[in-house]
Each structure stands twice: as C-alpha cells, then as structure tokens.
Structure 1
Amino acid sequence: MTKGKYTQKQISILKRAVSRDWYMMINHGAVRAGKTKLNNVLFLMELLRVKKNAALDGVDKPMYILGAVSSGTLQTNILREITNDYGHEFKFDRHGNFTLFDVYVVTTFTGSIVGLRAIRGMTAYGAYINEASLANKEVFDEIKKRCSGRGARIICDTNPDHPKHWLKVDYIDKADGETIVSNHFTIFDNNFLGKGYVDNLIATTPSGMFTERGIYGRWVIGEGAVYRDFSEDCYLLAEKVPTDDIVAYFAGVDWGYDHHGAIVICGKTADGRVYLLEEVARQYQEIDFWVEVAKDMKQRYPRLKFWADSARPEHVARFQREGLNCHNADKSVLSGIEQVAKLMKQNCFFVVADKVTKFKDEIYQYVWNEKSGMPQKHDDDVLDALRYAIYSQVAVRDWLI
C-alpha cells in the first residue's frame, strides 16, 4: 500500500486495524467517503490473517463469509473494485464461491432471509458485510454466529439509516473502541474528491434527511415535509409547457378503491426537466374505469409508457391485454423519493397547476414518520404514482421508449 492511494482517514483506520485487536469494525457514513474501498483492502488483509489463524487449528482451507445485498452489489461494490485496484481475478465454483489466498470465501446475499441458506452450519473465520444496514437482521445475526473460528472478526460498511435502526442501536451505539470499533465518515473525509464535485453534490442533494445522511453521514430521521425543496414556483400554466422539447411521456399508476387510485402523466425534456402534466385521482372505481382513463391518455400522449403498482398484478395484466404499454413500477421508497426530490432541488420539476388537484394537497401533507423513518402512509396516492413514474423511468434508463 502507498499513502497516495488512500485518504488520511483510511490510513488512520488501517493502522488502528493492524495495531490493536477488535471483534467488529463498522465503517459508516456519507456516500463517496471511502468506506467500501477501505473495507475492500481490510478484507484482503483479513484473509491473510485468517489463513495463519486457521493453520494453528490444523485447518488447511478455512472458510470466510462475504455478504452483500445482492449479486449485483457484490460485483460492483467489491469484486470488480478489488480487481481494478489490486489485479485479483475471481474464479467461482458451482456454488458461487471462490478461493483467494487459500481461503474459501462463501458468498451470501443478505438482502433477504434466503441468505441464510449459504451459511447455515458452517464455521467461518471471519466475515465482510457490505451495505450492512440493508441486510436482513436474521441473516446478519446468523453470520455473526457462524464466525466462531479462531480470532474471527467481522467488518461492515454502510450508509446511514434512521437512528432506531438495529445496526445503530445494537452495534454502533455500543461501540467501545475495543470489541466493537465504529468509524464515522463524512464526504469531506475523501480528500481525493475534487472541490467542484463536492460542491455540485451538495448543491444537488435534496435538503433535510438526504443531505444529513448523504453528505454528513448522520443517522437521522426526516423531520416534517418529505419534499422540503418544493415551492410554488414549480407551478406553471399549460401553455408554458415546452411540448416541442419533450422527448418522452410516461405515467405512474397507484391502484386504489377505498383510498384514491391515481394516474399521473409526466413528460421529460432532453435536458432533464420533468413536467407533471395531469393527474386523475378517484375513489371507489373499478378497473374498467382506469382502463378507459388510460386509453384516453394513450390517445393524447405519443408512445406513452405506464409504470404501475405491482401490488395488483391482475390490474397490470388487464392493462397489458388492453394494448397499454404497462410495466411493474420500481417501488423503492427512499430511492424514489430522493430522485423526485433531486429534480425539485435542481429546479427541474414543474407542475401544470390547473391539471392537478390532489397533488396540491398531498405535497404539503406528505411527512416523515418519526418512528419508522419512512413517509407516513396517508395523503400519498398521487405522490406514490408520481414516484413510480419518475423513479421507474430513470431506473431503467429508458427515457426514449
């Protein structure tokens, strides 16, 4: 390792990691702060240490757990980065595991309870858990139980979540600097990021919770309104919509009955502006009503794609049978809210004022739940449909279809 390759914060933690013993090290905080890069090198160092410890037990090929939320995050956050930085190539066996430094690394996906299958019954000499706050708690606990080999240690990295999250309450808050070591990162700890990049990141990160977590790495709840950057300046008249600039039309669908069902239509320009063009929100309407609404919209907006709540697959199937270009929405709540909020923060979100009604009420009543750290589940029908539309369209990078 050379000093030029690591930040001062990373070097300090690496020195701490090799100079004194510990059981669990949790590196947590802001995005792009260097947490995962640090843990990747700690992972390689731990494998070398594991091999020596296992030899004392007469174990020729010790096992180690590598946990990630999904196969995608395992590749992008860890394996590909290690290959790029250190040149290690990974050859997987039929179980999706690999051997490195003569240690058998068992991969498991922590995002659901299914992750238990890969690790039950094994004796591990350590573990590396990426994005630990997103891990299923039962899987996390099982990983901890499996780490019973001589000198086994666990390293974790994570972005912050709400302050009552089990990882913070049960581990970070109990860090004593000896058994559990907790290292907090802010965006400013990564001195390799250019000032322009950091300034732009701060300027485009939505206010409130997203800034507190993403920039300063704090475990906070979102207080008050979810969309704090929304202002009346977002409203405009229909004739002010630059229809010639719109390159894609797409809709969000939130099914309802006792509560309002809603369909919203959005248009996006090539330079990233999004216009909420209209909403239809009704209670006590059957699927036939929504089919007629959607068909009318299809006639008025070219190449219209519908992103619908997957909770009612029979309704999605009905839309498809009716010749509507309808797909299951990506319903990721916080990621979707952040995407919508970014547009508001960047002054890239506009609403045709005389084409929406319920939106005007919901935007100010959509607030955070202090206990769960998620939005309150009321007055959110149109805003859910809007989130489905915008985030799903962005997530698939499919603006022009």
Structure 2
Amino acid sequence: MALNDVLTPKQAEVLHTYLTVPFKMMINVGAVRAGKTYIDNILLMYELRRVANLAKKRNDKHPQFILAGASSGSIYNNIIAELSRQFGLDLRPDKHNHYHLFGVDIVPVYTASIAGLSGARGFTSYGAYVNETTLANREVFNEIRNRCSMEGSHIICDSNPDIPTHWLKTDFIDNHDPVAGIITYTFTIDDNTFLDPDYVTSLKASTPKGMFYDRAINGLWVTGDGIVYQDFNKDTMVIDDSEIPDGLEYYCGVDWGFARGHENVITVMGDDPDTDITYLTDIFSSTGKYIDYWVDIAHQIQEQHGYNINFWCDSARPEYVSYFQQKSINARNADKSVMDGIEYCSQRIKMGKFKILRSCAKPFLDDVFQYVWDPVKGVPKKEHDNVMDSFRYGLFNQHKRVENTAINSIYF
C-alpha cells in the first residue's frame, strides 16, 4: 500500500516534517474535516514509541506523556475513540483515569478551565498532545509547556482557528524565531483529498459566508466583519401572513429583561415538517413588565398553539423559569452557547430555511441589521440583541433537541 493511499499530500508533508526537522512545538490548525486530527493521532503513535525508546535508554521505568483536551469527553471522542478506528487500539483508563501504551503512562489534562491546572502540575513529561488548543485556558497550556522539560520533548497541538488576537496565534503561530522551534501547518477543506467531492460542495454551499466560512472552509484566523447574520435577506425571507402553511410544530425562545434597552422578548416559531422551513410567527417584546404579565402571554401562546409547546428560556433568571413551570408552562433552560447557536441559525438562514411573517417582522428587522460583531472579541456586541437572543434560544435548542432525539432513537 502506497503512502498516498492512506495520507493526503498535506498529511504526508506534516509527517515528513515531523520525522526530519527538529522542533519543540508543532501546531496543525485550520478548517473542519481537513484531516488534522487524523494525522495528529498518527503523530501521537510516533511520539509514544519515541518516548518509550528514550525512557528505555534512560532506564526510566515510568515515563509520562500528557494527553490534553478541553474535557474528558472531548479527549475520548476526538482521540481515544479515533485511535480505535484508525489502529484498532482499545485503550482503557486505569483507576487514575490514565491510559497506557508501549509502557508509557498517558496522563490526561483537562484544559477548558483553570481547574485543569492541578492535573498538569507536579511531574515531568516527555511531551504532550494538546487537542482543541484554542479552547484551552492559557495558564493550563503554559503549565503543560512547563511540564515538557525532558530533553527532546515535543508538544503537538491541533485546533480550528479563532480570532486573530487569540494567544495561540499571537504568541506561538506568529513566533518565527528559529530558537523557539515552532512549526505550523494550516489546513483548508480542500487539503482533505479523501472527502467526497459532493460533500465538500454541499458543505461550502451551506456554510454561512463571512467569518464562519473563512474559518471552517479556508482555515483562516479571522474575526467577524459587519452584521452577524450576513445571509439574511428581507426581500425573500419576509413573507405575507397568508403564505404560512398549516401544521407547523411550534416552540418559543425567551430572553428575560425589564429595562429599556434590555427588553423581555418571547419569539414564537414553527417548523414545517414537510419542507423543514422555520417560520417566525410572533414576537412579544416589552419593558417594565413583571413576570405575571409574561405568564399571561405564555398562556395565550399555549391557547393558540398547544399546551405542550416548549419555551426555551434564558437560564440567567432561574426563578422566572421555575415560576413559568409552576404555572404549567413547559419552560426549559436554553443552551446559551453563543457561537454554536449563531452558527446554527446562520446556517438555517443561509440554506433558505427561515421565514418571518410580515406582521411581526419589525422588531426582528430593527435588531438583525444592527446586530454586529465586536471586531476585538470576535463575538456579537451586547447591543440590539434581545430579539436575536430569543430567536437563537428557540431555534438552536428546539432543533438540537430534535436532532438528539433522532440520534438516540437510532443508537439507543
């Protein structure tokens, strides 16, 4: 079997560099589905073999190597499970949650928060593999670097790109001092020559333009530019009320508020099961109203669309969510993940799967064209976001629930 049967040209280049060029840190970053994790898992195998040989020469009976990721779950999903698929390895954690291969003690370190710092302290490592590096807490990452003090130690990193001011880019990727020993490879979606061309074409067509496209497809370190929902087109997406189909499956998003500029908003949406189009059918927005007012609004929505309708609520006011539940309203805490939610909503808009009734369009239109990216932080500014948050809570969480239910019905 030839090398090009198992590795793309970019992966082969990375492997050749690993085997022939001295380095301290190798960073593989770029687009989704570009083949980064696949080659990094191969490098991990080489690293563990290298560490085992070094330890044998040094008569080290307990060599350690760091396997770092945002959480235990991400380490298992992105690395351990993939090693099983790639190499047929069945790695099982010991009582300390460590893994073992080739006589090397593989120590997991969780990087998503400062709490992972304790797991990275107190030992010397022959190297590290850091998955999803842009999600890592900077202090934890620095501590991992400190642990890798054995002569000839390597740190392998992979990640999708983030904002251009992210510390991984400014401190490491942009550090071209040869003494630092940092090598970087950037992957685009087209570097994965094993992907089905139809899949790539579809992925490019369905990925929202702007920041999401530049990061996910081109592997670029960019921040948002202009409005968040760049693909929203009021000429095609705002429709007459008479165009709404029958048989919609309704749900709501709720963003709590009270003062001017921080209005309370409930958006009502319905999915057409035949076309998979979401229709925004009503927006209730007001200031200075207490919770009983919103209970009455919720009851009106229930009377119109059914008493089992979901209300995906801002979890910042748990007492309001609880009060809704006491009043027989099916209130649920929404997953408020900003970037995941915006990416999903943007994709629905990009694919033409979102419409809004003309009768309720004004509050949405007032916000959507002023809902813009913060060019420094890489997230939306906290302005004109009340309708946008309510819309995102409902659309993202309802579809996340439906998709998870479908997955569970298949596998469980």
TM-score of the superposed pair, with normalisation by structure 1:
0.96
1:90 Cα deviation (Å)? 0.9
**Alpha-carbon distance between aligned partners in 1 of 2:216 and 2:365, rounded to the nearest angstrom:** 28
**After the TM superposition, which residues 21-60 of structure 1 pair with which residues of structure 2 at under 5 Å, given as runs?**
21-60=22-61
Q: Which residue of 2 aligns with 1:140?
A: 141
Deviation track 1:182-223 (CA, whole Å, cap 9, x = no partner) reads 101111100011221111111100011111111100001111
* Paired AA for residue 378 in structure 1: E
* Paired AA for residue 327 in structure 1: R
Deviation track 1:265-291 (CA, whole Å, cap 9, x = no partner) reads 111122421111111111122212211
Q: Which residue of 1 aligns with 2:201?
A: 199
The residue matched to 1:199 in structure 2 has which SS? helix
Q: Which residue of 2 aligns with 1:290?
A: 294
The answer on whether the counterparts of 1:43 and 1:128 sit within 8 Å (CA) in structure 2 is yes
The residue matched to 1:264 in structure 2 has which SS? strand
1:267 partnered with 2:270: yes
1:176 Cα deviation (Å)? 4.7
Candidates 209, 218, 227, aligned match of 1:225? 227
* Paired AA for residue 215 in structure 1: I
The answer on whether the counterparts of 2:55 and 2:61 sit within 8 Å (CA) in structure 1 is yes
Candidates 332, 335, 339, aligned match of 2:337? 332
**Alpha-carbon distance between aligned partners in 2 of 1:196 and 1:366, rounded to the nearest angstrom:** 33
Query: Cα 1:165–1:195, aligned 2, differ >3 Å: closer, same or farther?
Result: same
1:398 Cα deviation (Å)? 5.6
1:238 Cα deviation (Å)? 1.9
**Alpha-carbon distance between aligned partners in 1 of 2:144 and 2:404, rounded to the nearest angstrom:** 41
1:399 Cα deviation (Å)? 8.6
Q: Which residue of 2 aligns with 1:237?
A: 240
**Alpha-carbon distance between aligned partners in 1 of 2:80 and 2:385, rounded to the nearest angstrom:** 39
Q: Which residue of 2 aligns with 1:348?
A: 353
TM-score of the superposed pair, with normalisation by structure 2:
0.93
* Paired AA for residue 128 in structure 1: Y
Q: Which residue of 1 aligns with 2:327?
A: 322
The gaps in structure 2 that reach 5 residues or longer are 407-412
Candidates 298, 311, 316, aligned match of 2:316? 311
Q: Which residue of 1 aligns with 2:155?
A: 154
The answer on whether the counterparts of 1:319 and 1:326 sit within 8 Å (CA) in structure 2 is yes
The residue matched to 1:108 in structure 2 has which SS? strand
The residue matched to 2:46 in structure 1 has which SS? helix
**Alpha-carbon distance between aligned partners in 1 of 2:4 and 2:177, rounded to the nearest angstrom:** 28
* Paired AA for residue 90 in structure 1: L
Candidates 188, 191, 196, aligned match of 2:190? 188
* Paired AA for residue 354 in structure 1: S
Candidates 212, 215, 230, aligned match of 2:214? 212
* Paired AA for residue 32 in structure 2: V
**Alpha-carbon distance between aligned partners in 2 of 1:364 and 1:326, rounded to the nearest angstrom:** 29
Q: Which residue of 1 aligns with 2:66?
A: 65
Deviation track 1:224-266 (CA, whole Å, cap 9, x = no partner) reads 111110011101122211122x2x3211111111211111111
**Alpha-carbon distance between aligned partners in 2 of 1:235 and 1:381, rounded to the nearest angstrom:** 19
Candidates 381, 384, 392, aligned match of 2:386? 381
1:172 Cα deviation (Å)? 0.7
The residue matched to 1:140 in structure 2 has which SS? helix
Deviation track 1:310-361 (CA, whole Å, cap 9, x = no partner) reads 1111111111111111111111111111111111111110001212432110
1:4 Cα deviation (Å)? 0.8
1:397 partnered with 2:399: no
1:97 Cα deviation (Å)? 1.3
Q: Which residue of 1 aligns with 2:280?
A: 276
Query: Cα 1:103–1:218, aligned 2, differ >3 Å: closer, same or farther?
Result: same
**Alpha-carbon distance between aligned partners in 1 of 2:5 and 2:237, rounded to the nearest angstrom:** 46
**Alpha-carbon distance between aligned partners in 1 of 2:64 and 2:276, rounded to the nearest angstrom:** 48
* Paired AA for residue 201 in structure 1: L
The residue matched to 1:306 in structure 2 has which SS? strand
1:299 partnered with 2:303: yes
The answer on whether the counterparts of 1:175 and 1:182 sit within 8 Å (CA) in structure 2 is no
Query: Cα 1:294–1:149, aligned 2, differ >3 Å: closer, same or farther?
Result: same
* Paired AA for residue 56 in structure 2: A
Q: Which residue of 2 aligns with 1:74?
A: 75
Q: Which residue of 1 aligns with 2:120?
A: 119
**Alpha-carbon distance between aligned partners in 2 of 1:57 and 1:150, rounded to the nearest angstrom:** 11
Query: Cα 1:252–1:175, aligned 2, differ >3 Å: closer, same or farther?
Result: farther
* Paired AA for residue 342 in structure 2: I
Runs of 4+ in 1 over 3 A off after TM superposition: 175-178, 398-401
The answer on whether the counterparts of 1:393 and 1:399 sit within 8 Å (CA) in structure 2 is no
**Alpha-carbon distance between aligned partners in 1 of 2:67 and 2:395, rounded to the nearest angstrom:** 34
Number of residue equivalences: 399
**Alpha-carbon distance between aligned partners in 2 of 1:63 and 1:314, rounded to the nearest angstrom:** 48
1:58 Cα deviation (Å)? 2.8
